[in-house]
Amino acid sequence: MTPDRLIECVPNFSEGRDLGIIRQITDRIESVDGVKLVGVEPGRATHRSVVTFVGLPEPVVEAAFRAAAAAAELIDMRTHHGEHPRFGAMDVCPLVPVAGITMDEVVEYAHALGRRIGEELGIPVFCYEAAARSPRRRNLADVRAGEYEGLRDKLARPDGRPDFGPLEFNPRTGATAVGARKFLIAYNVNLNTTSTRRANAIAFDVREKGRIKRAPDPLTGDLVRDAKGEPVWDAGSLKAVKAIGWFIEEYGVAQVSMNLTDLDVTPLHVAFDETCRRAEARGVRVTGSEIVGVVPLAAMLEAGRHYLRKQQRSTGVSDRELVKIAVRSLGLGELAPFDPDQKIIEWAIADRRQSRLVDRTLEAFVHETASESVAPGGGSVAAAVGALGAALGTMVANLSAHKRGWETRWAEFSEWAERGKRQHEELLQLVDEDTRAFNGVLAAFGLPKDTPEERAARAQAVEAATRGAIEVPLRVMAVAVASLEVIQRMVETGLPSSVSDGGVGALCAEVAVRGAGLNVRTNVKGLTDRTYAADALARAERLEQEAARRARDTLAAVAQRI
């Protein structure tokens, strides 16, 4: 699936027990081309299912509409009871920008979806969060106040008019809230208690809204009121967090159930650690947690780095390792297995049918290089050798961060390891990018050339593709040169027993630069724009000189320390 213009949709349905009904709803979603279903999480106690799917905006809106229609047919709100607040069959339906799209654009899609649900299905629709059409409806809790049981009276009041759809109460379907919001994590922290009251107390401690303030006298318990007679609230400790406490019968535990509405304000790991602290103060222990739906990769990576820093360990490890640390530290596998390839949104939507060179075994890559195929060739091999060189520098940094007696220097080495990691990851991407660029040149030469117009279009395409085939090896050269700074520093200050590893890394980096430089020189011959060609050659020459200097200095340092 292309990462361009992606939105996420996370409808919540008031059915968490009949898996057949849930399956019929998700079948409607999957019937739309251009949409990928990435999560279905039913809850028996909450009697609610959270469904997550991702795709291009128009298909996502169509899939959401079909899901709303299915819920209206299959769910009867007159018989619904559960732990979670609700007021409709498809209770809420938020749209979330993921990539290549603004919030303002997502709001327009939310309004179009709400209008269709209201007009074509006859369901009252209330718009909330960024899609709210009045300030008082931004907060979902305010929109859903009174829940299903109070919906008839709400619709009869002037301030309860829906944004779309009929004013009449539909007892079977209830109402739907359609919104546009930032990426929200539905996050539950598990407690070693069955007490909903204690779970609620912890939830009130941490949530931004806090709790209503009461007078010090425990006998009266009077509310403290402001000059207007309104109750005064004591704010909780976490901004951009909503939370309640509940008991989940199927697991036999109480939870603090949170919505993290802005991960830039309160990240996942901060919410977990603060809940642990507040629970301990009330004699309760946190035993783990769960993520309902999917989570951005960045949130998991930052959590992994956070817990490694607490251990004074290097954070310059692979993304997979960082995710593993986060899963273990947050206890995400306590109640059910946590599959990163399904729960992390970027990994869940990745098209694994695409064949990448870097996904092959080393043996398969070598054999493909040796075959009669013209690609991968020297450019991809240069990038691969550069990635190995940068990885060696990263390895020395990671080992140095963990050396006994160097505890005061772990942060320094961790920073170098993170730099090296970014470099070898980019060089790995450039392995396939170089082959794609070469194939682009071949495709351009294969364009028709029977007419003057076709010949002009072909010449323009060849020129553009050739530029691409020059810029990729130039980027390989630049990143490999940058990796030499890490390698040299690790040779000079890192673990003495790994100095030779750094030396090999320096040799690999210089080979990558010189090899990519050969590709630049080969490709500039076919350019019509000689000014650009001269500039590309000058850039390559400067990078080669810099690589030679740094590699020479690094190998001299190796000779001194080995």
Task: Give the pLDDT confidence of 112-128 residue by residue, as tens digits.
Answer: 999 999 999 999 999 99
Q: What is the rounded distance in angstroms from the CA atom of residue 139 to the CA atom of residue 142?
A: 5
**pLDDT surpasses 50 at 2:** no
Q: Whole-model pTM?
A: 0.79
Residue 334 belongs to a domain: yes
Asked if residue 29 and residue 169 are part of one domain, the reply reads yes
pLDDT tens per residue, range 22-45: 999 999 999 999 899 988 989 888
Q: Is 468 exposed, middle or buried (0-12, 13-18, 19+ CB in 10 A)?
A: middle
407 and 371 housed in the same domain: yes
Domain boundary among 348, 369, 397: 348
Res 39: pLDDT: 85
Predicted local confidence at residue 340, as pLDDT: 95
Q: Is the pLDDT of residue 84 over 80?
A: yes
Same domain, yes or no: 288 and 170: no
Inform me whether the pLDDT recorded for 499 exceeds 50.
yes
Based on the fold, state whether residues 147 and 281 are members of the same structural domain: no
402 catalytic residue (yes or no)? no
Same domain, 198 and 168: no
428 shares a domain with 344: no
Are the CB atoms for 53 and 41 separated by under 8 Å?
A: no
pLDDT tens-digit map of 330-358: 999 999 999 999 899 888 877 655 678 99
User: pLDDT for 116-174, tens place per residue?
Assistant: 999 999 999 999 999 999 998 988 988 999 999 999 999 999 988 999 999 999 999 99
Residue 56 lies in a domain: yes
In which residue are the tokens 């425990």 written?
218
469: in domain: yes
Mean pLDDT in residue range 522-530: 92
DSSP letter for each residue of 173-241? TB-EEEEE-S--EEEEEEES---HHHHHHHHHHHSTT-EE-B-S-TTT-PBPB-TTSPBPEE--S-TTE
Percentage of residues of the chain with pLDDT beyond 90: 81
End residue of a domain, out of 304, 331, 348? 348
Cβ atoms of 244 and 279 within 8 Å: the answer is no
Catalytic (active site) residue 535: no
Question: Does any domain span residue 1?
Answer: no
**201 plus 245 within the same structural domain:** yes
pLDDT band, residue 1 (cuts 50/70/90): very low
Q: Are residues 315 and 289 in the same domain?
A: yes
CA distances 34 to 97, 182, 460, Å, are: 16, 22, 32
Please tell me the predicted confidence (pLDDT) of residue 223.
78
Of the pLDDT bands very low, low, confident and very high (cuts 50, 70, 90), residue 180 is: very high
How does pLDDT run across 196-242, given as a tens digit for each residue? 999 999 999 999 999 988 777 655 567 778 777 788 888 999 999 99
Sort strands 233-234 and 125-129 into parallel, antiparallel or unpaired: unpaired
- Given 3-state DSSP classes, what are the helix, strand and coil percentages for the chain, each rounded to the nearest 5? 55, 15, 30
Between the two ends of the chain, the Cα-to-Cα distance in Å is 49
Pair 302, 404 in one domain:
no
Is 159 in the same domain as 276?
Answer: no
Give dist(CA 69, CA 116) in Å, integer: 10
pLDDT score at 45: 83
What pLDDT is recorded for position 107? 97
Q: Which of 205, 273, 432, 434 is catalytic?
A: 434
Q: 7 — phi, psi (to 5°)?
A: -130, 155
68 lies in the same domain as 153: yes
Tens digit of pLDDT for each residue in 373-406?
888 999 999 999 999 999 999 999 999 999 999 9
Residue 532, classed as helix, strand or coil, is helix
Q: What is the pLDDT of residue 99?
A: 78
Active-site entry in 47, 80, 84, 424: 84
Same domain flag for 171 and 189: no
